[in-house]
Every structure is written in structure tokens, then in C-alpha cells.
Structure 1
Amino acid sequence: MATRPRSEDALDRELADLPAELRWREWMGRVEAVLFAAAEPVPREALARIVGRGCDVDLVIDDIRAELAGRPYEVVAVAGGWQMRTRRAYGAAVRAVRGQGERGEVLSSSEMLTLAAIAYFQPITRGALSTFFGREVGRDLVARLRAAGLVAAGPRSPQPGAPYTYVTTPTFLARFGFTSLRDLPDIEQLEEAGLLDKEKLLADGWTMPGGEEDEHAADDGDEEPHSDA
């Protein structure tokens, strides 16, 4: 008789026939396996589907982290979930083998400053970004941040012409190691330290790539978001 394929519904989550210690080890193994296989942060609700109702996912994560102490990789809380990542101390070794050609490449100064402004002042229009920096923030610059998955189109602004606003994405949180936007450094402290002072930002190396000035900069209302938002 043919064996039926094992589906998610057939997964024994409760493991009631196992002793408590073995049950916990199995839950730990399942969670670690899912995190190891996942390319993106895994949310709590996804992990809850592979363990029993009496299993505390946070405690499972804590035990996995304890077992990984001293290993070159760890489980981190990021973008509203958890992800297995190489520890920073081994980043240079990984880059030496993998190279820099993949997404995750270093952002230019103008891209980084624009991304920081969007992160702190979102939802924000391109016109407002241009006003903040005192120079045009071109569509091409924002498009590169969107292509990297760091920025997406937000709601339309109530300003005349209803221009699109821009917001950061879960990819932004994952890339910079934030669980949520609440993890951003306190903006008042950054301003007091001069790190978010517009003049200092511009003095520290804002360089607008040639040819990015936008002939239609005055009318953001006509700007449509790319379809890959």
C-alpha cells in the first residue's frame, strides 16, 4: 500500500508520546532547521505552526542561542522575526569567498543619506527629501533604493497633486539588523550629536551623481511607483 505524502497537517506538533526533555529537543531541532533553511527572517506565527501549543517559542530561541554560543553563526531577532546569521567577526572571511557582487553591496553616500531620511521621516515625498537636503533628490536615486528592496511606495500625500510618499521595508530592517523601526537610534540624540544636522550631512560627503537632476522635479504628483514595490 502506497504511503501518503507527509503534509503540514500530518505533523505531530504536540509530541505527547515523548518525554518532556525529548519533546523540547525535538521542538528546538524543528525551529533551528526552519531558521537554517530560511532566506528571510521567520516570524513567530510561522514557528508556532511547527511546535506544540504549550511550547514557548521565545524560550526555544533562547536555548538555541545558548547552544550556538562560540559558533560562527547565531540567531538574531530582526524585521519582526528571527534569522540565522554569520557573526560579524567572520564577515570579512565570508566576503572574501562570496565576493561583493551580490545585493548587500555598499550604498553610496547619497543613497545612504536619503535612506536615513526616509527611515526617520517616513512617509515622506521626494519633494520633501529635496527640501530637507536643499538639492534635488532624483527619481533614479530613489529607484535604486527601491530596486534594492530597501524602500517602497507609501500612501499618497495630502499635498496638492497627491504625490507618492516613500517608506522603508522589512528588507531594510533585516539588512540593518533592526527588529522594528523602534530600534532606530533616538532621533533627538542624533540631532544633539550633530549626526542628523543637514549641514553636517552635506559636509560629510553628499555627492549627487551626475545627470540625476530631474527635469520634472517640480511635479511629484505625476510620479508613479515602480511595479516591483
Structure 2
Amino acid sequence: MSDQDQSLFAAPPMGDQERMVEAVLFAATEPVTLAELARRLPHGSDPAEALAHLRKRYEGRGVNIMRVGEAWAFRTAPDLGHLMRRESVETRKLSRAAIETLAIVAYHQPVTRAEIEEIRGVAVSRGTIDQLMEMEWIRLGRRRMTPGRPVTFVVTEGFLDHFGLESARDLPGIKELRAAGLLESRAMPGQGLSQPAEDEDDSPRTGQSELFED
């Protein structure tokens, strides 16, 4: 094989590979995996190395390249997130029941519906599960190898992306959740304390899922 033929199969210079990865991530509407980058880049490219160089180049910038589950995406630097917030009044918010259900899935995944109900101490409305799935914050996991083979629930990459987490291992502790206003000062469900009964605010209303409250 001639030098000219070999050059046809040679990988692009690393600088060019970085530019290609940058272009793909910038144009992507969803986080991109290394496997997808490998499929898009020319033969012989090393997307992992190109991504590592690119991440270093974006350190300290207004946008960073962040890991979202097993994929990668451009995201606003964490310390500048407040600049992106829209000054608007929220007319609806997650109900206590929805927050607790989501927290249980996040911290105890994979978890079955029966286990969610056991931790909360109350029945879980089907509307809560359905709406959290429609929001693409939780999804079905593997079935348990137990009688009845119940399905389990786990959080999605969309959930991780929304809260700026690389994986469920990066979930904040109880103090951080309370400081962010996501938990009241009472104990978090599943922490070994007595469970509260379902209150009036947690019950579905006519024409309204329990996921939201006024």
C-alpha cells in the first residue's frame, strides 16, 4: 500500500478530532455517548481522548462539557446557573407525595411500587407514577426475580440532566435537599422514623393528578 493510500485511512489530527466532537455535542439536542461519537467520527479516531482534551479546554468557561449518565453534553457552568433562571411565578409545583415518591426511587432504586408504599407508609396513586414517567424522570427497570416478578422503577438520564448530576451516586444528602427547599425539616421517607399518613393535600382532586398542587 502506497503512502497516499495509507493517508486515506489515517485518523485526523487530534485537534481536528476535538473540533468534530465539539461540533457534534454543540448541535446535539440530547447528550451523546462515546459510542455515538465513534460512529460519527472518521475511522481511527479516538473520541475518548478528543473528549478529554476538549473538556480540559472548556474548564473555567461559561459552558462545560458534563457527563450525563453514560453520555456527554454542553451545560452551563454550575456557578452561572442562576443567570439562566427565568423570572416568572410558578403556578404549580410537585406535591409532597410526588417529591417523596421521586426521592424514594432516586435513593432506593431499583425499587418496586410495593416497596415505595412500604417506605412511605401509604398507597401510591397511579397518577403519581404515570406523571413522573411522562416527565421522563423515572422509568421501568428490570423485573424482580421474586413471585409475581414485579417491575422496578429507576431514575432516568433526563432526571440526572435536569438536576445536573453525573449519576445517582451524586445525589445530595438530606441537609443539601432541605437547604434547597426540596424537603421539609421532617424526616425523609425511608429513614427509619414513623411514616406520615396520607394527608388531604396528597389525595387526587377532581380532574387533577396528585403530582401537582395549586
Q: Aligning the two structures, in what range does the TM-score lie when normalised by the shorter sequence?
A: 0.5 to 0.7
Q: Which runs of 5+ in 2 are unaligned?
A: 1-7, 175-186, 206-214
Asked if residue 29 in structure 1 is aligned to residue 19 in structure 2, the reply is yes
Q: What is the aligned partner in structure 1 of residue 178 from structure 2?
A: none
Q: Which runs of 5+ in 1 are unaligned?
A: 1-11, 17-22, 188-193, 214-229
Cα distance, 1:54–1:183 mapped onto 2, change above 3 Å: farther
Q: C-alpha displacement at 1:90, in angstroms?
A: 2.4
Task: Please point out which of 170, 181, 196 is paired with 2:157.
Answer: 170
**Once the two structures are superposed, what CA deviation does each residue of 1:57-83 show, in whole Å capped at 9, x if it has no partner?**
333223222322342111011110111
Asked if residue 114 in structure 1 is aligned to residue 101 in structure 2, the reply is yes
Q: What is the aligned partner in structure 1 of residue 184 from structure 2?
A: none
Q: Given the two structures, how large is their TM-score scaled by the length of structure 2?
A: 0.67
Distance 2:9 2:94 in 1: 43
Q: What is the aligned partner in structure 1 of residue 66 from structure 2?
A: 76
Q: What is the aligned partner in structure 1 of residue 39 from structure 2?
A: 49
Q: Given the two structures, how large is their TM-score scaled by the length of structure 1?
A: 0.64
Task: Please point out which of 79, 102, 108 is paired with 1:89.
Answer: 79
Q: C-alpha displacement at 1:108, in angstroms?
A: 4.2
| Secondary structure at 2:85 match in 1 | helix
| Secondary structure at 1:167 match in 2 | strand
Paired positions, count: 184
**Once the two structures are superposed, what CA deviation does each residue of 1:70-101 show, in whole Å capped at 9, x if it has no partner?**
4211101111011100112222222227x688
Q: C-alpha displacement at 1:157, in angstroms?
A: 4.5
Give the CA RMSD over aligned residues: 3.6
Q: What is the aligned partner in structure 1 of residue 182 from structure 2?
A: none
Cα distance, 1:52–1:186 mapped onto 2, change above 3 Å: farther
Aligned AA (1:45): A
Distance 1:64 1:207 in 2: 51
CA contact (8 A) 2:95 2:202 kept: no
Q: C-alpha displacement at 1:153, in angstroms?
A: 2.4
| Secondary structure at 1:212 match in 2 | coil
Correspondence 1:207-226 to 2 at 5 A: 209-212=201-204
**Once the two structures are superposed, what CA deviation does each residue of 1:83-134 show, in whole Å capped at 9, x if it has no partner?**
100112222222227x688xxx964443232112112323322222111111
Aligned AA (1:146): M
Cα distance, 1:210–1:66 mapped onto 2, change above 3 Å: closer
CA contact (8 A) 1:133 1:198 kept: no
Distance 1:168 1:83 in 2: 19
| Secondary structure at 1:65 match in 2 | helix
Aligned AA (1:126): R
Distance 1:83 1:106 in 2: 27
Aligned AA (1:169): T
CA contact (8 A) 1:110 1:208 kept: no
Distance 1:70 1:116 in 2: 32
Q: C-alpha displacement at 1:48, in angstroms?
A: 1.5
Cα distance, 1:63–1:115 mapped onto 2, change above 3 Å: same
Distance 1:207 1:40 in 2: 38
